[in-house]
Structure 1
């Protein structure tokens, strides 16, 4: 029989083991609760016998419903209520979840005008940036946007300006950003394509922060998103415990821009430090450290925005020509609001000399929306689609 002292020690060890086991079980349980399997059904309208389009729209609606069923709609803005009636019907709502993967388990043409799809989706409530499978699913739903990166990098001892940009290979910040994004499944436009089309005047404008020039150039080389900004390193001397030590510090400041609309998807700033006897080596390492931090933060913001696009609806810019009168403009806006299924809001940005710029929020990609609206007739005018990018559609009203 064990002595009293040893028995007491044994009981303590046993108790600790039990507590540890319970905690481990709870953690596993919590992790499993972050992931749900949901069956949801969506419906797409069949327009001019275009069943593939109706099927895609039905799948997207089913995926949105799968998130809503899991989490409920989380209203993240204040809702004005008067006499128990919501007076602001255009509140922004979104769901804090994402579809990791899904499969179509049933589909059918319900009638002449509607197509029905039922999916089984795996929905998660954790952060998407740590889930490679979910990122791949989201990228596919966004039609796999292509990225590009141009960063004005100035290491210690380098002269600022575009000359150094053209006389070096891909700099440290660009290389780090690309590698971090590519490791998560993002695709980038080939660097040689960028260099072949980039002259000093364009580079100077982009590196100085000209958003319109950056968006225009990215669009020209086939990128849907451009990441651009600055990375600067400097050397300082710090004193610790009576001894002086040389330290290199860097600041990296970047923003991600949609090339077709010029909208900023997100921006981020981070600092990094790396002590080294060689300023250039230390500056390079400091830029690399800061770039890793910026890449992680910027990626999260981009993914959050894209998840919001597919869950709650994305902004699509409509460039409409031959809108001759104010009455024509108002009739077209009313048609978008009431005649096209899923349009949540219509905002006028410009109208001058027959050319109107509108922004709509719709739970569709731009190409799907273009297929839906092409050929429709509004007050005697036929809508003709003349151009499509990832977030914009060009139209002409033909009378």
Structure 2
């Protein structure tokens, strides 16, 4: 009787799971619009999608609370909820987009949730779209017990997990052939110059580098011989362009088996999958910070023709540079302005946009660039 009660309770609890999951999200359609300035459709599209995401979150919020409460707390919701719209969107799909009389208009279907994105793998695909599908190269050196042939067990297992979760991979075998064994060993030892080559030549943004070690010890239990197989997988996640180590992790697993090769394969596979899934969480966190965190860049502009010219230039930057949130004027003296720029990006991305995009009759030239400071000259394009 007791067991039947436990069984019924289990069935009841299992039945609750999908209902709970469904109640945590809602799917809505929303529209967004942005003006096209200086013919920059890509920036206008970004802003239109941001507007649509905000409207989706606002619409979903309206289904959860009374309209009077919504109106009464609009400013609070605007500051705390709508301003972080992307953080509440698990997935979205652009259903329609068009240009109409100087406006870029989009219609999206979005799944809105209140969970933390970095702990929700369902949001991984949309997150990675925002950071342009990061390319990862997985490269491991494997060491096995005597009598067991080394292979690419860990490398293959980790690569499969990453591919299953939407990552693009750079082929490690191609890199091995082209670089040679000495440079591969240098890369595994932390040579940032080799990492930079892989970034430039093969387009890898992240390198997952490490070692896989497996040992087997035979024990006898009665008349049965059992192999105790243990695997230890150690890896570091490296930013390819800078050589910076972002994360370092180790995972291990043990699998008893009568066949040592089968046991080692199972142990390496389990440890590799544990490490890969943990690394995915770390990559999500890193890219989440890259996408959502606001960078503050101190921008100094030389060569301005007056205070009115400064106001014109500030507007040009706001309209033509991706990710601009706010521009604060800190100082202006004799043709030189000191500004503080808030943007989703970095000093490097701001410098790239200033030097490659069109700004009416003006162009920017970089004088100096550091981690959070950028100095530029502005000159007429006909000069």
Please indicate the TM-score interval, normalised by the length of the shorter structure.
0.5 to 0.7
Give 1:130 deviation, angstroms: 7.7
Distance 1:360 1:200 in 2: 44
Q: Which residue of structure 1 lines up, in the alignment, with residue 252 of structure 2?
A: 271
Which blocks of at least 5 consecutive residues in structure 2 are unaligned? 63-83, 304-309, 328-340, 367-373
Distance 2:269 2:225 in 1: 24
Once the two structures are superposed, residues 166-199 of structure 1 have per-residue CA deviations (whole angstroms, 9 ceiling, x without a partner) of xx7x611111111121122322223443133222
Give the structure with the higher percent helix. Answer: 2
Q: Which residue of structure 2 lines up, in the alignment, with residue 296 of structure 1?
A: 277
Distance 1:229 1:96 in 2: 32
- Residue 234 in structure 1 maps to residue 215 in structure 2: yes
Q: Which residue of structure 2 lines up, in the alignment, with residue 352 of structure 1?
A: none
1:1-399 correspondence to structure 2 within 5 Å: 23=13, 26-40=16-30, 42=32, 44=34, 46-60=36-50, 62-63=52-53, 66=56, 97-104=88-95, 115-124=104-113, 125=115, 134-157=123-146, 171-211=152-192, 213-236=194-217, 246-276=227-257, 282-310=263-291, 312-313=292-293, 339=318, 342-343=323-324, 361-362=343-344, 370=352, 374-375=356-357, 382-383=363-364
In the superposition, the TM-score normalised over structure 2's length comes to 0.63
In the superposition, the TM-score normalised over structure 1's length comes to 0.61
Distance 2:5 2:260 in 1: 55
- Are the aligned partners of 1:42 and 1:62 in contact in 2 as well (CA < 8 Å)? yes
- Are the aligned partners of 1:273 and 1:286 in contact in 2 as well (CA < 8 Å)? yes
User: Secondary structure at the residue paired with 2:254?
Assistant: strand
Distance 2:281 2:98 in 1: 34
Give 1:152 deviation, angstroms: 1.9
- Are the aligned partners of 1:38 and 1:121 in contact in 2 as well (CA < 8 Å)? yes
Give 1:270 deviation, angstroms: 0.6
Distance 1:200 1:395 in 2: 42
Give 1:207 deviation, angstroms: 1.2
Once the two structures are superposed, residues 288-318 of structure 1 have per-residue CA deviations (whole angstroms, 9 ceiling, x without a partner) of 22111101111122134334444x2477999
User: Secondary structure at the residue paired with 1:103?
Assistant: strand
Check 1:70–1:209 CA distance in 2 against 1; reply closer, same or farther (3 A cut): farther
Distance 2:131 2:295 in 1: 13
- Are the aligned partners of 2:158 and 2:273 in contact in 1 as well (CA < 8 Å)? yes
User: Secondary structure at the residue paired with 1:48?
Assistant: coil
For the aligned residues, what is the CA RMSD?
5.2
Once the two structures are superposed, residues 48-103 of structure 1 have per-residue CA deviations (whole angstroms, 9 ceiling, x without a partner) of 2122431133214533664687689xxxxxxxxxxxxxxxxxxxx89764432323
Q: Which residue of structure 1 lines up, in the alignment, with residue 81 of structure 2?
A: none
Distance 1:43 1:212 in 2: 44
User: Would you say how many aligned residue pairs link Structure 1 and Structure 2?
Assistant: 326
Distance 1:94 1:252 in 2: 38
- Are the aligned partners of 1:193 and 1:221 in contact in 2 as well (CA < 8 Å)? no
Distance 1:68 1:264 in 2: 39
Once the two structures are superposed, residues 202-240 of structure 1 have per-residue CA deviations (whole angstroms, 9 ceiling, x without a partner) of 212211133553243243222222211121223457798
Distance 1:285 1:372 in 2: 52
Give 1:32 deviation, angstroms: 0.7
Which blocks of at least 5 consecutive residues in structure 1 are unaligned? 1-8, 73-92, 347-358, 386-393
- Are the aligned partners of 2:255 and 2:264 in contact in 1 as well (CA < 8 Å)? yes
Distance 2:241 2:342 in 1: 15
Q: Which residue of structure 2 lines up, in the alignment, with residue 354 of structure 1?
A: none
Check 1:24–1:252 CA distance in 2 against 1; reply closer, same or farther (3 A cut): closer
